[in-house]
Amino acid sequence: MLESPRMMGPTYAEMAAPGRLPSSVRRTAAMAARDAPEHAAALFATHWHLLDGSVHALPLPPGLVGQGVAAVVLASDHFATGSAHGGVAWSLWMEHLLGCPPAEAAPSRPAEGPLARACDWAAARLSVSWGSGRPLDPTQAWAPYRYHTTVTARAIDAVFEAWQPTGTRVVVSGCGSAGAFLSVDALKSAAAWVRVSTDGEPRPTRVEDRAFATVSVDRGDAAALAQVLTSAPERWTSWVGLDPVEGAALVGRLGPSACAHVLAARAATHRMGLGAGDVVVLVAADPPDARPGPNTAPTPAALDRACVALSSEHAALWRLGGAGESTASPEARAEARAQASVVDAALQALRGG
């Protein structure tokens, strides 16, 4: 459990504005979390920023998304378990242990998958046990929402501020990702959310009213592209007009989920008429063990499939809007975001400050 009354590590508000902390403090908090992940400091140092305070982002080579669009991938391989689901797992337990908002029963373990593995990692280091029953009750389900609207939104904002788009801002997410589509509610500037699905008919979320469009990407196309981008830059770069050296920068960086985002971004570039001055932020969800290794040799079938997927902007199915009606009103979402200040107050009291 939480043992020390004076724990180190950033609060929700500090994670939302990393520039408020001196770089030495940011490095100390982050290093404490990563060097000793069982330490309570790891509970609060789960964000998209690296030790120097910069956002962990990977600019994609020009041409991969097309038409001169600047495309940047938010990378999550520095999180616990290699996925930003680690931040969601910490937020679930942090809010439960602090009683913000009050909850009597421990949160239940989510379904199998990256979030389940992250939740098990968090529970093991806090010496706690998951509850039984529904994976997340309506109260607990707001914890991931608060995490993304406070932490992930600030990382996306930081990318937009760094690239300074003169045109359209687009966020591509939702394909088994950390749920960055939730963060669109709290972005500083207007951005179009393009939602990705590899599971056929996508399930509705709390914020369907914010989706500009939903893109369905074939799971096999994404897996084939991940193989090809990882191990054969000299074979695929000519398909999108890149130098092989530029393509080599992607070796080992993008897994199937991120490649689904790439295909969706290509579709968005075509459908939305994007071009120079526009910026697209993609949220990568693939932990390192989900990415093809650098020695993986793509099969001839994978090469053919990836070539077709990259050569056609119509390879992904496009439809305007989300997957249904929003399940939470704007007022309910604003109230949920306001709870972040309650969480901060409880953290400060626990830390004695």
What residue segments make up the domains of the chain, in order of their start? 12-350
CA 17 to chain centre: 18
Q: Residue 319's beta-bridge partner residues?
A: 214
The reported pTM is 0.84
* Among 181, 281, 297, 182, CA closest to 231: 297
pLDDT score recorded for residue 313: 62
Quick: pLDDT tens for 143-157: 888 888 888 888 899
CA 296 to chain centre: 25
Identify the segments of the chain with pLDDT beneath 50. 1-44, 353
Rounded CA separation 331/306 (Å): 44
First to last CA, the chain: 20
DSSP code, position 51: T
**What span, in angstroms and rounded, lies between the C-alpha atoms of 243 and 206?**
42
Q: How many angstroms separate the CA atoms of 53 and 62, rounded?
A: 26
Pair of tokens at residue 2:
């939480």
State how beta strands 192-197 and 211-216 pair: parallel
pLDDT at 326: 82
Counting residues of the chain whose pLDDT is more than 70, the rounded percentage is 80
Distance separating alpha carbons of residues 202 and 199, to the nearest angstrom: 6
Closest of 290, 287, 296, 306 to residue 225, by C-alpha: 306
Residue-level pLDDT at 135: 66
